[in-house]
Amino acid sequence: MASLIACPHCGPRPKEEFTVRGDAGIARPVPDAGEDAWYAYVYLRDNPRGRHKEHWHHTSGCRRWLVVERDTMTHAIYAVSDAGTQDASTRGETA
């Protein structure tokens, strides 16, 4: 993991100020989606190699949730944006 994340609100900060949540591409199922869908949503995760979007929380800074697009192999960070500016599908919400 690269040591600096460029927070869109605070500027570049060391990764120690952030908390990682995980994959930002997972959509929350509807309440009655069934056991399999909920099991997958809660427990099943890929372990991707390469470009990946993740939720990171700027815990010791602005306390905003961010979407960090990074490469899990090279540690390069491609883009950081506020999770609130993403569309509903990448926020992990359903309409």
- Contact indicator for 81, 66 with CB cutoff of 8 Å: yes
Which among 84, 89, 90, 29 is positioned nearest to 57, based on CA atoms? 84
**Residue in 61, 71, 72, 90 binding other proteins, rule: CB under 8 A:** 61
- Pick the piece of the chain touching other proteins (CB under 8 A) from 6-14, 34-42, 47-55, 65-73: 6-14
Name the minimum Å distance from CB 90 to other proteins. Answer: 19
- Contact indicator for 21, 94 with CB cutoff of 8 Å: no
Task: Fill in the per-residue mask, 63 to 82: x = in contact with other proteins (CB under 8 A), - = not in contact.
Answer: xx-----------------x
Cβ neighbours of 76 (radius 10 Å): 11
**Residue in 1, 12, 19, 76 binding other proteins, rule: CB under 8 A:** 12
Task: Give the whole-angstrom CA distance, residue 2 versus residue 24.
Answer: 18
Which residues of this chain interact with other proteins, rule CB under 8 A?
4, 9-14, 16-17, 58-64, 82
